[in-house]
Chains A and B, each alone.
Chain A
């Protein structure tokens, strides 16, 4: 595997990452002594899900693979489960872009008609 394994139970894929991926179901109170400094799992984290390696403020970028995978929607403490309840995508957000995109729809044939299909 690419990355560093913590106690055989969680994977940090790149140095800049702020989350680790659980390689087995982790329970609240579990310790990851390989983390620097050692870390206590704050709540249950299912296999494949991620937990915070550092304290993350609301609005901060969350990193995995050394890349941005989303933004924290609330403060996340080190050791807490990071998932859709506290981290969201910054991409493909048509809900944020609607007004702007309607301005951009060209008057050319097809474009405006099609965009109006679902009104």
Chain B
């Protein structure tokens, strides 16, 4: 049985990092959150974002749910919620959402703390107190079945579908067979491969939900009256050899392995622990897609890239895997696993084993390339009016 050492949380979940999250409720509180965390130390991780102080109902609920999910992620030991004080999302409400997980949560209001300068001082004190409370927690042994592993791809090219994604899929199968959970998202990248994914669904309800979500994303293109070919595959994907979205999708699906798809969840919704393969409905934009899965409770992310992507995440370590030998060479300092060896004849199972071992060591605390380079991109997917319209159309 494979194990790793992590941080046990009051709700029973296990984290692979012990961060204090600093969560702004709007763009107006983001600079303070960013600086307070930066000044405190590497254990403090801010999630600055672009959402305004006032959003339409659906957008506001999305922002609050995602931030709450990020705060509840087991990699977070304690959280500080920062607001300007004029937001529709009250810091106290978001703090309550997070405190349901039993972890310490505090709030900071810029307008009541003496403006930016006062908030930076007050924020430093609150963060120090939170760290005092959770900073000395020790790792303890946990079973891999407690891991929720997010799989993502970005900057795909033809090698993604040939080498990196099948190798990551092999690692996904190993984790699922050990009782763990794997979550794939990026719904537009199911277009053209949905019949293959549908055959993998464990039951009819899951199959229907999956096909509905893919259909909704395709309808979005119809509603906008645009041809998706301008963006899917992207110009970079095309230069990398991918001709159509169907080709991209068929290659992308491989990264979640071959086991049954048991659940379909919405963006940022909780991913069932020990639940095998889950599909999360998300946009194709990789940074937002990763954040959705971290909000859903994923502790570790694996991110395949052909052309070379460097992005990380503030809360979850992101393991970078490339199947492109040129990228493995040129971006060696940003990559964690070179799977381009598959093209030279390394069996997919061996490359998959290397990714699986990397997952275990990263869960144990080994830093990823993105972590050591402090790459911590964060963005929340905003609900667009057209998206809501597409959902209304049946």
- CA–CA, A68 to B216, complex, Å? 21
Chain A minimum-CB-distance residue to B159 = A48
Let me know if B238 and A67 touch, CB within 8 A: no
Let me know if B247 and A106 touch, CB within 8 A: no
Let me know if A70 and B241 touch, CB within 8 A: no
- CA–CA, A106 to B225, complex, Å? 16
Within 8 A of A (CB), among B207-260: 218-219, 221-229, 232, 238, 240-241, 243-247, 250-251
The 0/1 profile, CB within 8 Å of B marked 1, for residues 102-119 of chain A is 001110101111110110
- CA–CA, A115 to B387, complex, Å? 10
Query: In the complex, what residues of B have CB within 8 A of residue A64's CB?
Result: 247, 250
In the assembled complex, B27 has its CB within 8 A of some CB on chain A? no
- Residue in A11, A93, A104 whose Cβ sees the most chain B Cβ within 10 Å: A93
Let me know if B192 and A89 touch, CB within 8 A: yes
- CA–CA, A65 to B218, complex, Å? 22
- Contact among B241, B324, B345, B389 for A21, CB-based, below 8 A: B241
- CA–CA, A21 to B301, complex, Å? 28
- Contact among A83, A97, A108 for B392, CB-based, below 8 A: A108
In the assembled complex, A31 has its CB within 8 A of some CB on chain B? no
In the assembled complex, B388 has its CB within 8 A of some CB on chain A? yes
**Segment touching A, from B61-69, B112-120, B160-168:** B160-168
Let me know if B385 and A67 touch, CB within 8 A: no
In the assembled complex, A94 has its CB within 8 A of some CB on chain B? yes
Let me know if A68 and B246 touch, CB within 8 A: yes
Known: A67-B196, A117-B385, A117-B386. A48 touches B158 (CB 8 A): yes
- CA–CA, A5 to B55, complex, Å? 54
Let me know if A82 and B192 touch, CB within 8 A: no
Query: In the complex, what residues of B have CB within 8 A of residue A11's CB?
Result: 162
In the assembled complex, B337 has its CB within 8 A of some CB on chain A? no
Query: In the complex, what residues of A have CB within 8 A of residue B386's CB?
Result: 114-115, 117
Let me know if B221 and A94 touch, CB within 8 A: yes
- CA–CA, A105 to B219, complex, Å? 11
Let me know if B348 and A93 touch, CB within 8 A: no
Let me know if A92 and B250 touch, CB within 8 A: no
Query: In the complex, what residues of A have CB within 8 A of residue B345's CB?
Result: 1
In the assembled complex, B6 has its CB within 8 A of some CB on chain A? no
- Contact among A89, A104, A108, A113 for B245, CB-based, below 8 A: A89
In the assembled complex, A23 has its CB within 8 A of some CB on chain B? yes
| Shortest Cβ gap from A91 to chain B (Å) | 5
Let me know if B385 and A92 touch, CB within 8 A: no
In the assembled complex, A36 has its CB within 8 A of some CB on chain B? no
- CA–CA, A16 to B232, complex, Å? 25
- Contact among B191, B193, B238 for A84, CB-based, below 8 A: B238
| Shortest Cβ gap from A46 to chain B (Å) | 7
- CA–CA, A91 to B238, complex, Å? 16
Query: In the complex, what residues of A have CB within 8 A of residue B324's CB?
Result: 48
Chain B minimum-CB-distance residue to A92 = B228
- CA–CA, A23 to B226, complex, Å? 33
- CA–CA, A37 to B47, complex, Å? 58
- Residue in B196, B222, B240, B251 whose Cβ sees the most chain A Cβ within 10 Å: B222
Let me know if A111 and B393 touch, CB within 8 A: yes
Chain B minimum-CB-distance residue to A22 = B241
- CA–CA, A2 to B251, complex, Å? 12
- CA–CA, A96 to B162, complex, Å? 31
Query: In the complex, what residues of A have CB within 8 A of residue B161's CB?
Result: 65
- CA–CA, A96 to B225, complex, Å? 8
Let me know if B162 and A105 touch, CB within 8 A: no
In the assembled complex, B83 has its CB within 8 A of some CB on chain A? no
Query: In the complex, what residues of B have CB within 8 A of residue A93's CB?
Result: 221, 227-229
| Shortest Cβ gap from A57 to chain B (Å) | 17
Let me know if B243 and A95 touch, CB within 8 A: no
In the assembled complex, B171 has its CB within 8 A of some CB on chain A? no
- Contact among A68, A91, A98, A101 for B228, CB-based, below 8 A: A91
- CA–CA, A119 to B244, complex, Å? 28
Let me know if B348 and A1 touch, CB within 8 A: yes
Chain A minimum-CB-distance residue to B392 = A111
In the assembled complex, A27 has its CB within 8 A of some CB on chain B? no
Let me know if A13 and B243 touch, CB within 8 A: no
Let me know if A50 and B192 touch, CB within 8 A: no
Instruction: List the 6 shortest-distance A-B pairs measured between CB atoms, nearest first.
Output: A48-B241, A92-B228, A48-B158, A114-B385, A89-B244, A95-B227
Binding site for B on A (CB under 8 A): 1-2, 11, 13, 21-23, 46-50, 62, 64-65, 67-70, 82-84, 87-98, 100-101, 104-106, 108, 110-115, 117-118
| 19 interchain pairs, CB-CB under 8 A | A1-B163, A21-B162, A22-B241, A46-B241, A47-B158, A47-B326, A48-B157, A49-B158, A50-B158, A65-B250, A82-B243, A83-B241, A84-B229, A84-B243, A89-B246, A91-B245, A92-B221, A106-B392, A108-B392
